[in-house]
Amino acid sequence: MSLRPREMTAADWQPLRDAGLDDQGLLELGHLIAIFNYFPRMADGFGLVLHPKLREAAATGVPLRRPS
């Protein structure tokens, strides 16, 4: 859905149906996929960059901590 949304067919969704998702579940999943595609494009379009501490947390897997 992210790379070639116009090429999606019912067969692409079938494994998710087999896993128990109904039409409502597929719709919600489609919305989540769309949102996760939307936000990075907006950030890139506005030239936003991650704070260095966020980059470090992403690279190391060590979560950020709130200042005490």
Range of the domain at 9: 5-60
Q: What is the pLDDT of residue 68?
A: 80
Q: What is the pLDDT of residue 49?
A: 92
Q: End-to-end CA distance of the chain, in Å?
A: 42
pTM: 0.65
Q: What is the pLDDT of residue 36?
A: 93
* Cα→Cα distances 33→14, 18, 48, 49, Å: 17, 19, 21, 22
Residue 68 inside a domain? The answer is no
The conformation of residue 63, written as its DSSP 8-state character, comes to: P
Residue 67 inside a domain? The answer is no
Residue 26 inside a domain? The answer is yes
Q: What is the pLDDT of residue 67?
A: 84
Residue 65 inside a domain? The answer is no
Q: What is the pLDDT of residue 35?
A: 95
Average pLDDT per consecutive 10 residues, the chain (68 residues; last block may be shorter): 92 97 96 94 94 93 89
Instruction: Give how many domains the chain has, as a whole number.
Output: 1
Residue 46 inside a domain? The answer is yes
